[in-house]
Amino acid sequence: MHTLDALTLANQIRRRDLTAFEVAKHTLSRIDADTNNCFLYTTPETALVAAKRIDARLEQGDCPSPLAGVPIAIDDTILVRGDRCTAGSRMLDNFISPFNATVIDKILAAGLIPVGRTNTDEFGVCGSGDTCYHGITLNPLDSSNLAGAAAAAISSRLVPLALCADTLGAQRKFASQTGTIFLKPTYGKVSRFGLVPYISSAEQIGAAGATIGDTAALLNIIAGYDPKDGTGIPNSDLIPPEPSQDLRHLRIGIATDYWTTLGRTGTATLTETRERLTALGATLQDCPLPQQQTDILGMASMALQIIAAAEGCNNFSRYDGIKFGYRPQTYATLDDISINSRSESFGREVKKTILFGSFVLAQQQYEAYYLQALKIRRLIQQQLAQALQTYDCLLIPASTGQPYHKTNPEANARQCLTDTHYTAPATLAGYPAVAAPSPAVTQERCGIQFIAAPNNEQILFDIVNLSTTDSLIP
């Protein structure tokens, strides 16, 4: 049953060919046997109780959603009431969530079964996969390399779905490298209430799955205005349940400059993708989006690093070891608690983020770095908006395709900055994006990424649904 996609699994549970209880038990036993360190811990008691409750409702013909009874993994940056939530940091190693994130309330109401918490980079910082306090997660397609834990959990068929936060874009990059899908919604479409904050103005909770249909179904459940999130957009459109039959109505802009810089990997992936999309009736045209270092889009990664550090520096200032978080063994004064707590529990990348963020916000540097990054952000959004007046979506790589080796954190940190070049534009603009594996270039996983205008997730869904029919998950 673990090889089934989420919608098929839900259908079988709804028809009572399977019970949610037996699916949850099977899932938990497979997670226990996992050797890639995808999960930090599982929640068997609450999962099995929830599964029994859904089974009872389904027996009465009461089906709360198309995904009722399906197990789901939750990223360790999203609060689930009564569960530990560490955000991958020693600082929060013993933190118990006092309330549910809004997305958790929504998936529970929809009858999904949270089974455990997936590993994460510390507070989502860096995104290389090797800054987590709880150790690295290995890529199930190649265990000499790292992967994001949610993507790895889906790729190794531990769970069919996961909720996780897209911060610098690592979820899209790792989806493309694990044969899975990650759908980053429009900023403000999904409530961030209950997400451990890092880049408040850009990060979004998104849907990870083995198929685009699964991620679209999950997005339909978690999307919607939440008065608890002041950045939410009212009247967010959802994705209709019936997909298009072809792509004849779509014009896709190929951001050629991004592909040519990847050399053979980019050319092979683009050629294959172009053939598939053309066969489905889409109109493809080269879209001039220059992205060299002196071009505005070439500065997206730089601008995102500055904004991320500035916002991260402020968000991480709440951790002082007084009200919650790591309390040091020795201290004499109030200051000692904060200094020892932060110095002993934050990892190196978080400390670097804090120091860098503080630097760019200082009066002497504010205009040259932070203000300049915010202005470049507006220019990036304008460039994407202009391109998306001509095209329904843009096609760019999801990453360079270079793997993250499990024993080389310094090279990984550098690689991460390079890969952020491909994910930063959609992140900074707040536009929806979906990352999928390269259809046939299985050894060179730069992946494909489609970016659409705000609230146009339907277009992303149609394209990936029709163009990536072959699963790359074993």
Partner 1 sequence: MTEDTLDTLAAFNKLRLSSHERQTLYKELTQLLDALAPLSSADTSQTEPMIQVNPLGTVMREDTVIPMVSRAEILVNAPEHDQGYFLAPRVLE
Which residues make up the interface to partner 1 (CB under 8 A)?
94-96, 98-99, 187-188, 201-202, 227, 230-231, 233, 293-294, 296, 298-299, 302-303, 305-306, 313, 317, 320-325, 327, 331-340, 342-343, 346, 348, 351-352, 354-356, 358-359, 362, 368-369, 371-379, 381, 417, 428-430, 454
AA letter at 459 = I
**Residue 85 CB, nearest distance to partner 1 (Å)?**
10
Q: For 440, which DSSP code?
A: S
CB nearer partner 1, residue 269 or residue 383: 383
Minimum distance, C-beta of residue 168 to partner 1, in the bound complex (Å): 14
Dihedral (Cα; 396, 6, 439, 290), 10-degree rounding: 0
Separation CA 198–CA 307 (nearest Å): 10
Phi, psi (degrees; rounded to nearest 5) at 82: 90, -10
Please, what is the Cα angle at 381 between 451 and 308, to 5 degrees?
90
Q: In a 3-state reduction of DSSP, which class is residue 143?
A: strand
Compute the C-alpha angle 298/301/307, nearest 5°: 130
**Residue 290 Cβ vs partner 1, minimum distance, rounded to whole Å:** 13
Nearer to partner 1, 85 or 460 (CB): 85
Nearer to partner 1, 299 or 460 (CB): 299
| Distant-in-sequence, close-in-space partners of 452: CB < 8 Å, separation ≥ 6 | 388, 392, 393, 394, 431, 432, 433, 459, 460
What is the nearest approach in angstroms of partner 1 to the Cβ of residue 429?
6
Token pair of 49 as six digits: 């109780």
Report, in Å, the least distance between residue 358 CB and partner 1. 5
Closest distance between partner 1 and the C-beta of residue 194, in Å? 11
Q: How far is the CB of 84 from partner 1 (least distance, A)?
A: 10
By beta-carbon proximity to partner 1, the closer residue of 138 and 202 is: 202
- Tokens standing for 265? 């990997």
Q: To the nearest whole angstrom, how small is the minimum distance from the Cβ of residue 188 to partner 1?
A: 5
CB closer to partner 1, 114 vs 321: 321
Nearer to partner 1, 13 or 202 (CB): 202
CB 284 within 8 A of CB 254: yes
Q: Which amino acid is at 161?
A: L
* CB nearer partner 1, residue 60 or residue 329: 329
| Residue 374: both structure tokens together | 């915010």
3-state helix, strand, coil in the chain (%, to 5): 45, 15, 45
Nearer to partner 1, 51 or 394 (CB): 394
Nearest to 98 by CA among 83, 88, 76: 83
Q: Which is nearer to partner 1, 31 or 297 (CB)?
A: 297
**Pairing between β-strand 448-452 and β-strand 393-397 as defined by DSSP bridges:** antiparallel
Shortest distance in whole angstroms from residue 242 CB to partner 1: 28
Q: Tokens in use for 27?
A: 């899932």
Minimum CB separation of residue 402 from partner 1 in Å reads 18
User: CB under 8 Å to 25, separation ≥6 — which residues?
Assistant: 48
Lookup: tokens for 47: 């999962």
Bridge partners of 251, per DSSP, are 283
Q: Give the whole-angstrom CA distance, residue 351 versus residue 254.
A: 38
Nearer to partner 1, 18 or 376 (CB): 376
